[in-house]
Amino acid sequence: MSRAETANADALGQNQGVSQPAFEFALDDGAEHTYSVGELADAVNGALRSRFGSGVWIRGEIQGYSERGPHAYFRLVEVTDAGKAVLDVSLFANARVRLRPLLQKHGLQLAEGIKVRVFGSLDFYAPSGRLSLKMSGIDPRYTLGEMALQRDDVIRRLVASGMYDANRRRTLTLLPLRIGLITSVGSAAWHDFTKELEQSGHGFEIRAVDVRVQGDTAAAMVTAAINELNGHGDLDVIVIVRGGGPRTELAVFDSESIALAIAAAPCPVFTGLGHEIDRSVADEVAHTAFKTPTACAGALVERAQAFSQRTEGAWTAIAALAGRQIEQASTGLLDTARRIEQRTVAAVERADQRLTDRSHRVNLSSGRALEQASMHMQRSTERVGRRALQFATQELSTLQQIEARVRLLDPVHTLARGWSLTRTADGRVVRSAEELAVGATIITTFASGQASSTVDTLAETPTASQGEPA
């Protein structure tokens, strides 16, 4: 319905004095035009073209991005205090092909979550009864500006919290061989990085974590991977690499969560994110940022080679110094040996002279000593001879006395005086009657012969106190 038709309808309603709700009960007199659904859709589209001319610029955030064949579809969303506003957008194949060079020139790619300013014509699609935008243009500067603003906001928060340069304060070891690698395993970036290390010939050890480096889940996966490697504590360096791509894909690495994980890493973090113009927030907070994965690997190889060269140089210097010191020591040793030889010869000569002198003195004194010793020996022999005769006479007399006493104690002499010796049958000497029993056999030895007898009775011998002889 045109503006004129709308005005005529309003005037007719006022002339008849009928309020708007009363139209539900008014008879169709043919004065009001009734639209079919299709006609209304056409009228709405006509009004849109009349109002917005050839098209309209609209800004918002892309959500629900999808591709169906050569076409792309998404929603532009704006969240305000009043609520959420949504507009469907269709990017058909012809417009998509036409816009591709512009997007590539600015390193952009339409993707989930990016903010865009697009141009297109509004269309009320009758089959679904929904209003949509047929996109035909885009303002890359708006998207890049929004991304830059978001990146600047993240960097400002990092600077304010003291985390912006935290990882750059980490000390890189002289020989970083234990590497934690975060990338899409099997990708071109993966192959470029690992090939560079393998061809170096150094003993690099890689602990890889496979992640997505673009898309909705990329930021969360990369953050989790950094935190996982941070927990190991035995790495020399953590490396994050990916190949080149549109700036909108690389915006993943503007994530504040990734930046905070890098800042908190206990070891240096290297980035090789494959873009040479813009620096991501991850590049800003990393210990060192490189343009490509290959350059990142090359830096590690160069450090290992530099360490190897310094080691070889130090070894060469040590060997040279040791050689010089050995040569100096050898020279000193020869000098010392010559001095020792000279002093030894002199000492031997002096000792030989002293020995000759002492030998001469010994020869002179030995004759006198032998003569004196011979005289002393002769006198001692005479004294010993005299004393030996006296000692032998004394000892002979002593032996004779002992012999006499022994003869007196010999039992044979005792028996000869009338005594006898009594033994038991087993040869034991009987000293007391108490040692015998009635019926026992005893053997009595006399000075001449023996007698055997049997004990009939045993009588107690009187003691001296009873008046009997002892």
Percent of the chain with pLDDT over 90: 29
Confidence of residue 25 (pLDDT cuts 50, 70, 90): very low
Instruction: Compute and round to an integer the Cα radius of gyration of the chain.
Output: 65
Output b/e per residue, 398-434; b: 16+ Cβ within 10 A: eeeeeeeeeeeeeeeeeeeeeeeebeeeeeeebeeee
**Residues 389, 457: Cα–Cα separation, whole Å:** 63
* Residues 266, 164 contacting (CB under 8 angstroms): no
Other CB atoms within a 10 A radius of the CB of residue 170 amount to 14
* Residues 213, 184 contacting (CB under 8 angstroms): yes
**3-class state of residue 305 by DSSP:** helix
Average pLDDT over residues 215-223: 88
Name residue 346's beta-bridge partners.
none
Whether the full predicted model's pTM is greater than 0.85, yes or no, is no
* Residues 132, 119 contacting (CB under 8 angstroms): no
Burial (CB count <10 Å: 0-12, 13-18, 19+), residue 42? middle
Name residue 122's beta-bridge partners.
133
Ranges of beta strands (E only) in 213-292 are: 237-241, 269-272, 288-290
Confidence of residue 440 (pLDDT cuts 50, 70, 90): confident
| pLDDT score, position 411 | 74
Query: Could you tell me the strand order of the sheet in which 237-241 lies?
Result: 205-210, 178-183, 237-241, 269-272, 288-290
| pLDDT score, position 21 | 44
What CATH number does domain 164-304 carry, 1.10.10.10, 2.30.110.10, 3.40.50.2300, 3.40.1390.10?
A: 3.40.50.2300
Q: How far is CA 410 from CA 128, 400, 402, 416, 419, in A?
A: 158, 15, 12, 10, 12
Q: Which two tokens stand for residue 275?
A: 């873009």
- Examine the pLDDT at 44 and tell me if it is beyond 90: no
Q: Residue 166: CB partners within 8 Å, gap ≥ 6?
A: 263, 264, 285
**Residues 465, 470: Cα–Cα separation, whole Å:** 9
Question: pLDDT tens across 254-284, in order?
Answer: 889 999 999 999 999 999 987 666 688 999 9
Confidence of residue 28 (pLDDT cuts 50, 70, 90): low
Is the torsion defined by CA of 125, 131, 137, 143 positive or negative? negative
* Residues 238, 269 contacting (CB under 8 angstroms): yes
Average pLDDT over residues 58-79: 91
**Residues 70, 62: Cα–Cα separation, whole Å:** 18
Closest CA to 258 of 285, 277, 279: 285
Confidence of residue 210 (pLDDT cuts 50, 70, 90): very high
- Examine the pLDDT at 59 and tell me if it is beyond 50: yes
| pLDDT score, position 461 | 64
- Examine the pLDDT at 104 and tell me if it is beyond 50: yes
Confidence of residue 13 (pLDDT cuts 50, 70, 90): very low
Q: Which two tokens stand for residue 192?
A: 């470029």
Average pLDDT over residues 289-317: 90
**Residues 144, 109: Cα–Cα separation, whole Å:** 11
Pairing of strands 83-91, 71-80: antiparallel
- Angle between helix axes 256-263 and 140-161 (nearest 10 degrees) is 30
| pLDDT score, position 228 | 92
Is the torsion defined by CA of 180, 182, 186, 187 positive or negative? negative
- Examine the pLDDT at 4 and tell me if it is beyond 50: no
- Examine the pLDDT at 2 and tell me if it is beyond 60: no
Pairing of strands 450-454, 441-445: antiparallel
Confidence of residue 470 (pLDDT cuts 50, 70, 90): very low
- Examine the pLDDT at 469 and tell me if it is beyond 80: no
Confidence of residue 237 (pLDDT cuts 50, 70, 90): very high
- Examine the pLDDT at 84 and tell me if it is beyond 90: no
Question: pLDDT tens across 385-400, in order?
Answer: 777 777 888 888 888 8
Confidence of residue 51 (pLDDT cuts 50, 70, 90): confident
Burial (CB count <10 Å: 0-12, 13-18, 19+), residue 10? exposed
Average pLDDT over residues 215-222: 87
- Examine the pLDDT at 358 and tell me if it is beyond 50: yes
| pLDDT score, position 468 | 46
Task: Tell the CATH topology of 35-138.
Answer: OB fold (Dihydrolipoamide Acetyltransferase, E2P) (2.40.50)
- Examine the pLDDT at 14 and tell me if it is beyond 60: no
Percent of the chain with pLDDT over 70: 90
DSSP readout, 97-127?
HHHHHHHHHTT----TT-EEEEEEEEEEETT
Domain ranges of the chain: 35-138, 164-304, 415-457
- Examine the pLDDT at 46 and tell me if it is beyond 90: no
Output the CA torsion 185→190→191→195 (10° steps): -120
* Residues 119, 137 contacting (CB under 8 angstroms): yes
Q: Mean pLDDT: which of 105-114, 142-151, 303-312, 453-462 is highest?
A: 303-312
